[in-house]
Structure 1
């Protein structure tokens, strides 16, 4: 990657953008299947970055709403709806890779795949420094809105080699590449395994969209439309988009991510009280606090388990559900989102409510670090999580009991 300014901090550029094996020719037309696959893998990384970046500030919100009597959704529910849609986008990108015969060549549970903050937003010009931080109108305005910001209208500004002006332009390049290659390669979709694509068990109370089974150019373009419309909004920059971008119904609309964040930044949707979480924490920050370390380790293990579970879903064939018969695939699909919204969020809320002394002799509240945790392997992972939970329960007894984190962990699939 090259840039035209010395203001670039090279240490904040992710290695996957500069490594010859993974980098893409950003700004140049996609004319080969190899370049298309590289772009889609970069897209998966881009969507993966948003999950910890958006979840972390939502965990810092000390109440689930500014007031139960206030109108509107509030910052927490808006951010939660965005995160779930980002999970959908991540799966749509992987569906595209499966449709192109590349589904088994990417893993979300991979130390090299997980983001590390601070970092530059991949491909975006001008450079945007990304952080995990406590929720504030400034963070939402200066980072999140900029991340989701549509490309400016009018004559395009010059962009250095290796960069795109927006996510939408990145996906526009992918769409054009798909169209070109579909016209040039007769068997582009010959290795598709539709029975391995994610097409069910998605729900988002405050958001929209649906998984798309990709089988040809039309359905691939449908998937890209969902991703871009839900993020930046439609090309005419309306303040709302259909809840189902592919089957719009008058009156059934939601806001794109950019507008949702703008409502938070403008103070329309209140944030409420916020725990003082550290910015861009790493596990070493809590090295002197064994209690917080045990809880953070459990959090990281569960987060990695969620990513691993998505990988397992994409390796498990989907069979038609029949009365009286279990479908492992359907069980995994229902479980992975429940694990994220139930177990992971509960652990994070305990951390955020816990004070910790950090090396700078400051008292802050603990924030999860979203770091890679080595799992022992399928068939052993649930017991591993239970052992980590038991170790943390010594310090946080609320992890146990009826309908608790430990109880929920015990209900996870044994074989994942």
Structure 2
């Protein structure tokens, strides 16, 4: 295969951590697992990027009829489906005996920005940025570009695919080849009780988690991922809300088309906060921007705690049920939703609604940096509470009844 040199942005470390070889034998289990690990990173890389743009759209105190609400909801539905895709990819890994191979709370796994999109050639650099038509058209739509046979005649680097569609097609072929070679025994290491099966958060998107136990269920999981966005056939103007059990009339737009509605102005953006592009913690100096520094630290800690809780959920069997006690897996899944929606999103919304110091002519709001934060080995919950109490000096609304602080006190200490 002809190769090219990567010259732009940062190549994600997962390329070296879990290398893939498009020319390798389809029956190679390690290569299939590495493909799925990179697929998980690929799905994960969209979540902070889309959330950042979504949060930049002013909705606090807005009427549901205000401009921007439609665009906000469209992006939110895409984020929900990307989270579904992430859980389906991890379920496939668990089914193939790879449960211990992935940790979400891992500096090498968590995306940073700017960085290169995996398996896209020519290069596409991903950014955290306020929602604009230019960002949506130039980055988001390009990320969700429908299946293409080949995007360019240009040589590509070793270990890369030209498109996500090509990448996922290879994953499907490898699943089928390995299942055939082993006569179905490749699934013997499956631990279904550790898979994610209940989408308590999936109220704004299509599809649902499913247990992967054989080739058919793995192909069903792939069908959901591909049809909703990554690698969809460009001739399909819509996709079923339930890709596995389609009902006539119950359709939705694929991710590319949803973003196109924003880029074309069909869904107006309304007021968008002036957030920085690709912010880093160092941009919010403790002396120069104490409020932004404090709330961004809290956000990153809560973000990493959310990733850590996902890991704990995947290490907790839903079969474990002590007599007379609540199922621990169920409790973790429910409190995870409260952490994500009530803590993480609320802290981010509070942050983007504040102001950075600077000239009046350069008014800018701080945006969350989605960076890795090293939580203590013990006392993670207490650490978050302490950070929240410190941040309340600048943002007292984080305290009180039904507040971020109130919710943190109700979180499990994991």
TM-score range, shorter chain: over 0.9
Q: 2:112 aligns with which of 101, 109, 116?
A: 116
> How many angstroms does 1:333 deviate by?
1.3
> How many angstroms does 1:155 deviate by?
9.9
Q: Deviations over 1:277-322 (max 9, x none)?
A: 0000000000121111110011001110111011001100112879
1:351 aligns to 2:351 (yes or no):
yes
Root mean square deviation of aligned Cα: 2.5
Instruction: Give 1:14's aligned residue.
Output: 12
What is the distance in 2 between the residues matched to 1:70 and 1:350?
20
Relative to 1, partners in 2 of residues 1:238 and 1:73: Cα closer, same or farther, differing over 3 Å? farther
Instruction: Give 1:377's aligned residue.
Output: 377
Instruction: Give 1:365's aligned residue.
Output: 365
What is the distance in 1 between the residues matched to 2:227 and 2:272?
30
What is the distance in 2 between the residues matched to 1:386 and 1:103?
31
Instruction: Give 1:100's aligned residue.
Output: 96
> How many angstroms does 1:214 deviate by?
0.4
User: How many equivalent pairs are there?
Assistant: 409
Instruction: Give 2:334's aligned residue.
Output: 334
What is the distance in 2 between the residues matched to 1:120 and 1:208?
28
Which sits farther off after the overlay, 63-72 or 243-252? 63-72
Instruction: Give 2:130's aligned residue.
Output: 134
What is the distance in 2 between the residues matched to 1:72 and 1:298?
27
Which runs of structure 2 are paired with 1:313-324 in the superposition (5 Å)? 313-319=313-319
What is the distance in 2 between the residues matched to 1:72 and 1:250?
29
Q: Deviations over 1:7-57 (max 9, x none)?
A: x4255222332x2x4221136663311111111111111111111111111
Q: 1:175 aligns with which of 172, 176, 179?
A: 172
Secondary structure of 2:173's partner?
Answer: helix
Secondary structure of 2:49's partner?
Answer: helix
Q: Deviations over 1:340-363 (max 9, x none)?
A: 12211111111111111379x954
User: What TM-score do the two structures reach when normalised by structure 1?
Assistant: 0.92
> How many angstroms does 1:337 deviate by?
2.7
> How many angstroms does 1:157 deviate by?
5.1
Instruction: Give 1:48's aligned residue.
Output: 44
The answer to whether the 8 Å contact 1:66/1:271 transfers is no
> How many angstroms does 1:254 deviate by?
1.3
> How many angstroms does 1:168 deviate by?
2.1
List alignment gaps of at least 5 residues for structure 2: none
User: What TM-score do the two structures reach when normalised by structure 2?
Assistant: 0.92
What is the distance in 2 between the residues matched to 1:129 and 1:94?
25
Relative to 1, partners in 2 of residues 1:2 and 1:363: Cα closer, same or farther, differing over 3 Å? farther
Relative to 1, partners in 2 of residues 1:72 and 1:240: Cα closer, same or farther, differing over 3 Å? farther
List alignment gaps of at least 5 residues for structure 1: none
Instruction: Give 2:250's aligned residue.
Output: 252
What is the distance in 1 between the residues matched to 2:355 and 2:67?
32
Which sits farther off after the overlay, 339-348 or 207-216? 339-348
